[in-house]
Amino acid sequence: MSQKSHENNLNKDVLKYLFVKILPAISGLLTIYFLTRTLSISLYSNYAFITATILLFGQLISGWINSSVLFFYPDYLSHNSLDALKINVITLQAILYIIGGIGFFFVCYFGLKNFGLIIIGLLLLLSQTFLNLLYSFLQAERRVGVQIKSTLIQSVIQITGVLFCYFYSKENLYDVIIVFFLSYFIACNYVMYSDKIYRLLFSFSVFSFIDISIAKRVLVYGFPICVWFFASQFYTIGDRILFQYFNVNKLVANYASFRDLSVGLSGFITMPLLMASHPIIIQMSKDNTAKVEIEGLLVQNIKLLITLFTPVFIGILLIGDWLLAQVVEGKYLLDNDLMILVLLSIFFGTISMYLHKGLETKGRTILMTKIALLVGLLSLILNVFLIPIYGVKAACIVSVLCQVIYCVTAYYFSKEIFKIKIPYVFLFQSGLYIVFAFIVSRYGLDKDLYLIPRMLIFVILTVVILLSSKEIKSMLKLINK
């Protein structure tokens, strides 16, 4: 298949996955809007601790299995043995959930000592874990329609439930977590019904599919990724757990709410691209002659991400304070410099998913894991020493530093497989826009007196950046077709 054909397939899938991610982005925005008006600062800090712990253990027990499904799916499809793959992966996931649930219990117990929240958190971990696993099947099969409907169900229930908490159950973290659990649980059951997983699990021949060798293959490939997922998530959000243990409260809720908001909205930009491109790159990597095509797709994706993130940085520099004030209550506002640091860590974390693609496609997951473990260890050491002294600011700086170190180190080894050459002119131009916005924000127009001119500059720069992007133009042409 030609590079042009792969790019067309990628663009079509990206457009489909936009619908998958636009709903969580909207529900995430509304959720943060109402939660910051429903929960106190201290309760939101506990909420951030619980959700971070769920995410960490969720990645530990399930994120790597999802990667394994995408990696092995083409092989089992060619041998007409997908049912065996699904049954064995689901069984393995259930076993790992029990192990992860034990770890979650102890981490939350020493951090909160609240059995009620721990039990509800375990149920949320269960529903999220299996929904993500089911999504990996749908992603491998490129059945975006089912995923869109499931996401719609989850988002609507979540928004409705959070609205209920806002009006009728303020300052009640139990009800908030229950709402999240129900939204994922019902969406999970819908996917199991639509993808005929229930029929498969309750069939008389289900035990005939059990094959230890399949689970072993998944473990051998995926276990290093398991550690990688955990380590990478630790230096991304592990600081929330350390805040709780070090009893650091100042700006924690502000930082956590802004990061949640940024991850949710940036996911609308980044995840459709990653979800669409990952299966295509994995399939192309099976053909050793597709190296140039893969490198082309990687360059295209990274350029597109830089193009889309540039207006975000400009927006935060010029009108970030005003934008955040429209979403959260005044007590949740965050310093502009900290907002930029949070966005930088998210940006480099997103780029890293493409910089290590060479190692991932060639199965060199142990090397990926070693890099992530070293970076995670560095993050732990720095945060243990700096968070008690400098609080949230230290966590933000450490997060950016660790993401940059991972990017540089991962690409150093990955470039032997895929070389990613981004034109210097393109990087210089994107950087110039950001520098201009920085100068205007710091030394030009006062943010309180000149909000409208700042907005106008932001809109003009955004339009210029987006209209001058070749990658966006190619996607717009596809839409017009």
* pLDDT, tens digit (0-9, with 9 covering 90-100), for 56-96: 888 788 877 777 787 777 776 666 667 777 888 888 888 88
**Cα(203)–Cα(205) distance, rounded to whole angstroms?**
5
Question: Which of 70, 132, 89, 13 shows the shortest CA–CA distance to 279?
Answer: 70
**Cα(6)–Cα(229) distance, rounded to whole angstroms?**
28
Comparing 40-49, 203-212, 260-269, which segment has the lowest mean pLDDT? 203-212
Where residue 479 falls among pLDDT bands split at 50, 70, 90? very low
Q: In this model, does residue 394 exceed pLDDT 80?
A: yes
Comparing 102-106, 140-144, 355-359, which segment has the lowest mean pLDDT? 140-144
Question: Which of 24, 9, 6 shows the shortest CA–CA distance to 264?
Answer: 24
Mean pLDDT over 281-309 rounds to 79
**Residue 131 tokens, joined:** 């929904």
Question: Which of 194, 253, 201, 293 shows the shortest CA–CA distance to 40?
Answer: 253
Distances (CA, A) of 270 to 316, 359, 377: 18, 20, 27
Question: Which of 177, 207, 186, 168 shows the shortest CA–CA distance to 84?
Answer: 207
- With a pLDDT cut of 90, the percent of the chain lying above it is 31
* Diameter of the chain measured on Cα atoms: 72
Neighbours of 30 (CB within 10 A): 17
pLDDT the model gives residue 1: 47
Question: Which of 215, 209, 197, 220 shows the shortest CA–CA distance to 81?
Answer: 209
Q: In this model, does residue 478 exceed pLDDT 90?
A: no
Question: Which of 152, 173, 147 shows the shortest CA–CA distance to 162?
Answer: 173
Which DSSP letter does residue 440 get?
I
The pLDDT tens digits of the residues spanning 412-462 come to: 998 888 888 898 999 999 999 999 999 988 887 776 677 888 899 999 999
Mean pLDDT over 322-343 rounds to 87
Contacts of residue 389, defined as CB under 8 A and 6 or more positions apart, other chains included, come to none
pLDDT the model gives residue 204: 52
CB-facing half-sphere around the CA of 394: CA atoms within 13 A: 20
pLDDT the model gives residue 158: 94
Report phi then psi at 84, rounded to 5. -65, -40
Where residue 315 falls among pLDDT bands split at 50, 70, 90? very high
pLDDT the model gives residue 448: 67
Question: Which of 290, 249, 277, 242 shows the shortest CA–CA distance to 399?
Answer: 242
Q: In this model, does residue 209 exceed pLDDT 80?
A: no
Q: In this model, does residue 178 exceed pLDDT 70?
A: yes
pLDDT the model gives residue 344: 94
**Cα(232)–Cα(236) distance, rounded to whole angstroms?**
6
Mean pLDDT over 210-225 rounds to 75
Question: Which of 185, 179, 193, 104 shows the shortest CA–CA distance to 146?
Answer: 193
